[in-house]
């Protein structure tokens, strides 16, 4: 049986192309000499005499020593092998470069977003009749109601106003705007005397709609049609005459669902506040919508603009023009370096997971052959070979690569998808900084946070699942009952956000005060509903979550005093380890609880207790250079 097991386990090739069990061994250890130590006691691993008369360690001893080395932190591996933990330092360097790239991209993106946002505000002031700065407030809390028209004359005047203002855009605007022909996508030179300014007018309406409110009768064909036409903006334009002369119709408010005006504008952003940044050229698609779907006598009016990059016919004549182009090229070089480092990091993480997977297979094979009387290893016990930190770094790298490619496309003006690049790079930065916590987890004073979370998290998740069921009941109840009378419960998503804000004590008074109803039943229900929800989730649920965390913290504190429970694999790896008579056991040393530095080899001296421990572990010392 031993011969078959050796043949099976030895099929894996190490990084130095050396089979797992075909290891160098000093035959001098076959004699009876032993080095004595006053501080440690250990058992010499059993020896197997081969057919040629030589001695070698048995496979179980080697596998246990290899597992002990696998469980060590990078700090102790450096003390043991005197090999710089370059993979850890590589991750630190990667985070620094990623953060530098993110900061430079954030500065550039801020300039882009500010230009797009302020241009959109400018279009509101230029094309929306009656628009004022008071309408530019945040969505909540609203300082004013919806921007709308309520009379036929206001509706007609608002359309004519937008067309007239677009016709005089270059004369009245302070921005660097000009016209763009909507149909043929050809721009016109600013010195042209006769230019056509095209606007696309669309009417979305029912085919037939006639009503008689006096007798409560109506005739309705619910099939809708969307009629679009292109008009030329002039100062004499009137929407009534245009519809009557061109389409032989008038505005029918009964059938009208919405009316839209669409036109295109070219713009150039000159970044004079940034001496070394190239100007950007944009194509704005502006859309003004008059929404009459509710048919309440209130037609909402809103403007939306979408910006796209366009290639600029640039000519830089200032003295820093060469440096401006050089700056862009340097940013591209930085992005290429980020791509290279990220790909290397991805390969290293896959490589580490592969070595862990190989060791996992070797351990499982050993248990299936030599320890058949024991129950098989479970997945929770084997998870130690597949570190979730590696998966976190892999996900980070998979986000950095497409985000950097999009960023390079933005620098070349091929795309303007700042949102996608910002989302990918922002999430990758978050996960990268979280990944740093892995190295702090090797130390006792910092590891307390992670052990507490891992201990209490299963209980918290089960408890929150039960609380979520109650939360969903409150959410749907509040939406269906209070939604028509309260702006904060108008939709399911806003109801969810409102209730979550109440748990955190956010804006409670306005939630009580903004109920718009004269029904006493709705008011009484709202009071009972809000008071019961706040008492249940703030005073009960939140307190119980904190209690679960404190309970986990107390459990971890006892572990630090009495010792952490060891898994089956940890017990297996220490079966033939030297019996340490000091204050720390093998698990304490290999998890770097007593470490005095965070992997700074030049500043740290190998602790004496580790030296004594490793010196006593003869098999580990002999074969440490062959371990992964």
- Domain harbouring 527, CATH code: 1.10.287
341: pLDDT confidence band, cut at 50, 70 and 90? very high
How far from 544 is each of 200, 533, 550, 551, CA to CA, in Å? Answer: 60, 15, 10, 10
| In a shared domain, residues 227 and 142 | yes
**From 126-130, 226-230, 294-298, 370-374, the region with the lowest mean pLDDT:** 370-374
From the list 154, 123, 405, 91, the residue with the least C-alpha distance to 290 is 154
Q: What is the 3-state secondary structure (H, E, C) of 458-522?
A: HHHHHHHHHHHHHHHHHHHHHHHHHHHHCHHHCCHHHHHHHHHHHHCCCCHHHHHHCCCCCCHHH
Query: What's the pLDDT score for residue 624?
Result: 63
From the list 604, 482, 514, the residue with the least C-alpha distance to 73 is 604
Query: What's the pLDDT score for residue 187?
Result: 47
**C-beta atoms surrounding 292 within 10 Å:** 23
Query: What's the pLDDT score for residue 2?
Result: 45
Q: Is residue 583 part of a domain?
A: no
From the list 482, 537, 491, 538, the residue with the least C-alpha distance to 514 is 482
Q: Could you give the residue ranges of the DSSP H alpha helices within 26-73?
A: 59-71
From the list 558, 501, 563, 562, the residue with the least C-alpha distance to 533 is 501
Buried b (16+ CB within 10 A) or exposed e, 257-290: bbbbbbbbbbbebebeeeeebbebbbbbebebbb
Q: 338 near 98, Cβ under 8 Å?
A: yes
Structural domain including 419 reads: 91-109+324-443
Which residues are registered as beta bridge partners of 55? 49
Query: What's the pLDDT score for residue 415?
Result: 83
| In a shared domain, residues 306 and 329 | no
Return d(Cα 471, Cα 184) in angstroms, integer.
Answer: 55
Q: Is residue 115 part of a domain?
A: no
Helix (H) or strand (E) holding 305: strand 299-310
From the list 572, 621, 627, 586, the residue with the least C-alpha distance to 29 is 621
From the list 75, 46, 78, the residue with the least C-alpha distance to 62 is 46
C-alpha 149, offset from chain centre: 41
Return d(Cα 196, Cα 232) in angstroms, integer.
Answer: 6
Name, in order, each residue with C-beta under 8 angstroms of 188's C-beta and a sequence gap of 6 or more.
Answer: 178, 179, 180, 181, 195
Count of CA atoms in the C-beta half-sphere (13 A) of 474 = 25
575 pLDDT more than 80: no
Q: Is residue 242 part of a domain?
A: yes
Coil/strand/helix, residue 532: helix
286: pLDDT confidence band, cut at 50, 70 and 90? very high
Q: Is residue 61 part of a domain?
A: no
Percent of the chain topping pLDDT 70:
73
Query: What's the pLDDT score for residue 8?
Result: 41
Return d(Cα 439, Cα 458) in angstroms, integer.
Answer: 23
394: pLDDT confidence band, cut at 50, 70 and 90? very high
From the list 56, 33, 32, the residue with the least C-alpha distance to 45 is 56
Query: What's the pLDDT score for residue 618?
Result: 61
- Block residue for tokens 């953060």: 99
446: pLDDT confidence band, cut at 50, 70 and 90? confident
pTM metric for this prediction: 0.74
606: pLDDT confidence band, cut at 50, 70 and 90? low
Give 492 or 4, the one with higher predicted confidence. 492
Torsion angle, CA of 78/84/90/93, rounded to 10 degrees?
100
Q: Is residue 254 part of a domain?
A: yes
582 pLDDT more than 70: no
Q: What is the DSSP letter of 19?
A: B
Domain limit, last residue, from 268, 284, 312: 312
Query: What's the pLDDT score for residue 625?
Result: 61
**From 10-19, 93-102, 161-170, 425-434, the region with the lowest mean pLDDT:** 10-19
Buried b (16+ CB within 10 A) or exposed e, 306-344: ebebbeeeeeeeeeeeeebeebeeebeebbeebeebbee
Name, in order, each residue with C-beta under 8 angstroms of 345's C-beta and a sequence gap of 6 or more.
Answer: 90, 91, 94, 393, 397
From the list 282, 303, 321, the residue with the least C-alpha distance to 158 is 303
Q: pLDDT tens for residues 361-376?
A: 888 888 888 888 888 8
Q: What is the DSSP letter of 187?
A: B
Q: Dihedral of CA 271/277/283/284: which sign?
A: negative
| In a shared domain, residues 158 and 242 | yes
Query: What's the pLDDT score for residue 254?
Result: 86
- Block residue for tokens 């295109």: 264
213 φ, ψ to 5°? -60, -25
Which residues are registered as beta bridge partners of 206? 224
| In a shared domain, residues 303 and 334 | no
360 pLDDT more than 50: yes
| In a shared domain, residues 105 and 175 | no
| In a shared domain, residues 420 and 466 | no
From the list 164, 168, 309, the residue with the least C-alpha distance to 236 is 164
Query: What's the pLDDT score for residue 328?
Result: 78
Q: 161 near 129, Cβ under 8 Å?
A: yes
Name, in order, each residue with C-beta under 8 angstroms of 562's C-beta and a sequence gap of 6 or more.
Answer: none
Average pLDDT (596-606) is 46
| In a shared domain, residues 304 and 345 | no
454 pLDDT more than 90: no
- Block residue for tokens 């939709």: 491
Domain limit, last residue, from 562, 592, 621: 562
Encoding tokens for residue 606?
């190998």
Query: What's the pLDDT score for residue 407?
Result: 92
Q: Is residue 614 part of a domain?
A: no
| In a shared domain, residues 160 and 301 | yes
338: pLDDT confidence band, cut at 50, 70 and 90? very high
**C-beta atoms surrounding 22 within 10 Å:** 12
**From 120-124, 189-193, 445-449, 624-628, the region with the lowest mean pLDDT:** 189-193
27 pLDDT more than 50: no
Encoding tokens for residue 555?
């459990």
Buried b (16+ CB within 10 A) or exposed e, 79-108: bbeeeebeebeebeebbeebeebbeebeeb
Give 496 or 83, the one with higher predicted confidence. 496
Q: Dihedral of CA 79/81/82/84: which sign?
A: negative
Helix (H) or strand (E) holding 306: strand 299-310
Give 491 or 9, the one with higher predicted confidence. 491
| In a shared domain, residues 305 and 353 | no
Return d(Cα 510, Cα 176) in angstroms, integer.
Answer: 43
Q: Is residue 162 part of a domain?
A: yes
Query: What's the pLDDT score for residue 476?
Result: 95
Percent of the chain topping pLDDT 90:
25
Q: Is residue 123 part of a domain?
A: no
Query: What's the pLDDT score for residue 262?
Result: 93
Return d(Cα 263, Cα 575) in angstroms, integer.
Answer: 79
Give 75 or 212, the one with higher predicted confidence. 212
Give 595 or 547, the one with higher predicted confidence. 547
- Block residue for tokens 């986990």: 552
| In a shared domain, residues 262 and 408 | no
Name the domain count of the chain. 3
Provide the mean pLDDT of the chain: 77
| In a shared domain, residues 280 and 329 | no
Q: What's the distance, Cα to Cα, between the start and end of the chain in Å?
A: 27
| In a shared domain, residues 488 and 374 | no
Query: Using alpha carbons only, how large is the chain's radius of gyration in Å?
Result: 36
261 φ, ψ to 5°? -120, 125
Which residues are registered as beta bridge partners of 421? none
Domain limit, last residue, from 398, 414, 443: 443
Q: pLDDT tens for residues 32-70?
A: 333 333 333 333 344 444 444 444 446 777 787 788 778
């Amino acid at each position: 049986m031993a011969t078959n097991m050796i043949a099976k386990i030895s099929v894996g090739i190490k990084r130095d192309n050396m089979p797992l069990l075909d290891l160098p061994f000093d035959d001098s250890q076959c004699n009876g000499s032993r080095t004595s130590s006053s501080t440690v006691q250990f058992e010499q691993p059993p020896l197997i005499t081969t057919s040629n008369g030589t001695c070698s360690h048995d496979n179980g001893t080697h596998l246990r020593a290899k597992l002990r080395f696998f469980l060590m932190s990078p700090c102790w591996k450096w003390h043991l092998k005197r090999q710089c933990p370059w993979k850890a330092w590589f991750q630190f360097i990667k985070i620094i470069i990623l953060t530098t790239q993110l900061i430079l991209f954030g500065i550039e993106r801020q300039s882009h977003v500010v230009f797009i946002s302020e241009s959109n505000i400018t279009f509101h002031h230029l094309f929306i009749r009656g628009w004022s700065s008071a309408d530019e407030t945040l969505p909540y809390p609203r300082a004013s109601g919806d921007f709308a028209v309520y009379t036929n004359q206001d509706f007609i005047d608002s359309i004519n106003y937008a067309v007239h203002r677009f016709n005089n855009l270059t004369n009245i605007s302070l921005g660097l705007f000009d016209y763009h022909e909507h149909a043929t996508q050809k721009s016109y030179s600013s010195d042209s005397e006769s230019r056509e300014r095209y606007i696309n007018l669309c009417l979305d309406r029912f085919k037939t709609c006639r009503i008689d409110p006096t007798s409560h009768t109506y005739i309705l064909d619910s099939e809708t049609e969307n009629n679009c036409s292109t008009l030329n903006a002039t100062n004499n334009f009137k929407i009534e005459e245009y519809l009557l002369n061109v389409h032989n119709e008038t505005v029918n408010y009964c059938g009208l669902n919405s009316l839209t005006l669409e036109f295109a504008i070219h713009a150039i952003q000159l970044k004079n506040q940034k001496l070394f940044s190239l100007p950007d050229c944009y194509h704005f698609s502006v859309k003004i919508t008059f929404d009459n779907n509710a048919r309440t006598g209130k037609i909402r009016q809103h403007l939306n603009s979408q910006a796209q990059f366009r290639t600029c016919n640039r000519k830089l004549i200032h003295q820093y023009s060469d440096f401006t182009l050089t700056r862009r090229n340097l940013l591209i070089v930085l992005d290429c370096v980020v791509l290279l480092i990220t790909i290397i990091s991805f390969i290293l993480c896959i490589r580490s997971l592969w070595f862990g997977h190989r060791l996992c297979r070797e351990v499982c094979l050993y248990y299936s052959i030599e320890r058949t009387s024991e129950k098989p290893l479970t997945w929770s016990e084997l998870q130690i070979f597949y570190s979730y930190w590696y998966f976190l770094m892999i996900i980070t790298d998979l986000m950095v690569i497409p985000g950097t490619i999009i960023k390079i496309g933005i620098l070349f003006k091929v795309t303007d998808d700042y949102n996608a690049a910002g989302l990918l790079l922002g999430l990758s930065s978050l996960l990268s900084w979280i990944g740093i916590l892995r190295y702090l987890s090797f130390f006792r004073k910092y590891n307390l946070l992670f052990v507490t979370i891992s201990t209490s998290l299963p209980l918290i998740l089960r408890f929150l699942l039960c609380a979520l069921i109650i939360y969903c009941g409150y959410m749907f109840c509040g939406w269906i009952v209070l939604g028509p009378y309260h702006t904060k419960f108008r939709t399911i998503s806003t109801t969810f956000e409102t209730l979550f804000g109440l748990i955190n004590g956010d804006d409670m008074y306005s939630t009580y005060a903004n109920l718009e109803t004269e029904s006493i039943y709705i008011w009484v229900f709202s009071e009972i509903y809000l008071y019961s929800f706040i008492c249940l989730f703030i005073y009960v649920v939140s307190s119980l979550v904190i209690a679960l965390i404190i309970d986990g913290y107390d459990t971890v504190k006892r572990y630090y005093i009495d010792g952490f429970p060891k898994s089956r694999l940890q017990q297996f790896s220490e079966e033939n380890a030297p019996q340490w008579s000091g204050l720390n056991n093998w698990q304490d040393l290999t998890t770097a609880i007593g470490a005095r530095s965070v992997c700074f080899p030049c500043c740290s001296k190998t602790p004496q207790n580790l030296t004594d421990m490793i010196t006593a572990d003869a098999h580990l010392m002999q074969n440490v250079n062959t371990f992964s």
